[in-house]
């Protein structure tokens, strides 16, 4: 019952976030209507980083404690984070084309984000290559710890290097900033997408736990 109520709440939050993105936030003076994709693009990137942080922490906990539940959490968060970073890579070119006149450029932010996507694709592929659950968990945990190093690189790339990607609008220095209504809509969109991430990770974790328990029963049956 609680799960259903939370799912309904997430749906309502996402619906209101979409409405606010189109009808509450003001139209940006320079880019016009296309700028409204910002309320999906930027929060999705932040939520993806949050999911990958969960994977990173869970991987560390597995390395030190060797408990399967941390491996289940790590892969669950990694899959959800990968979905969010895919949204970022799709919405970015849609926004860029009418503004920059190009779909893609290999600048620091875009390239490091694409590399991040490849790293977590590889993380999930690695898990399919190892049958033993404990070896699989350890190998993917070590790899996942390494893969997370790209997250701060993506986040800081537009601060460390001058790139095609615009400078951050929040805490980006002189001349940057958002209209107060834009900030509210951005914050609400982030909360809605973060709530969806929590719901998806929880659902995926339950599935992985059942899969792990079924694998144990299968091995016990084979041994018997």
Q: What is the pLDDT of residues 34-76, one digit of tens each?
A: 989 999 999 999 999 999 999 999 999 999 999 999 999 999 9
- Taking only the tens place, the pLDDT of each residue in 181-210 is 899 999 999 999 999 999 999 999 999 999
pTM: 0.90
Domain ranges of the chain: 2-25+34-166+178-223
Rounded distance, CA 144 to CA 121, Å?
11
- DSSP character for 30? T
**Are 82 and 120 within 8 A, CB to CB?**
yes
């Amino acid at each position: 019952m609680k799960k259903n109520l939370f799912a309904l709440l997430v749906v309502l939050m996402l619906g209101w976030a979409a409405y606010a993105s189109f009808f509450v936030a003001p139209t940006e003076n320079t880019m016009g209507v296309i700028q409204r994709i910002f309320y999906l693009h930027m929060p999705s990137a932040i939520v993806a980083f949050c999911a990958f942080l969960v994977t990173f922490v869970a991987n560390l906990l597995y390395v030190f404690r060797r408990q399967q539940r941390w491996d289940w959490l790590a892969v669950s968060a990694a899959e959800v984070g990968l979905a969010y970073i895919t949204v970022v890579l799709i919405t970015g070119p849609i926004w860029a084309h009418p503004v920059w006149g190009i779909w893609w450029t290999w600048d620091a932010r875009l390239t490091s984000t694409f590399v991040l996507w490849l790293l977590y694709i590889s993380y999930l592929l690695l898990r399919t290559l190892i049958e033993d659950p404990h070896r699989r968990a350890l190998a993917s945990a070590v790899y996942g710890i390494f893969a997370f190093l790209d997250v701060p690189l993506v986040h800081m790339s537009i601060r460390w290097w001058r790139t095609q990607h615009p400078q951050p609008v929040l805490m980006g220095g002189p001349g940057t900033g958002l209209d107060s209504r834009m900030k509210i809509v951005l914050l609400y969109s982030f909360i809605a997408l973060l709530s969806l991430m929590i719901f998806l990770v929880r659902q995926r974790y339950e599935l992985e736990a059942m899969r792990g328990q079924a694998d144990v029963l299968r091995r016990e049956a084979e041994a018997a």
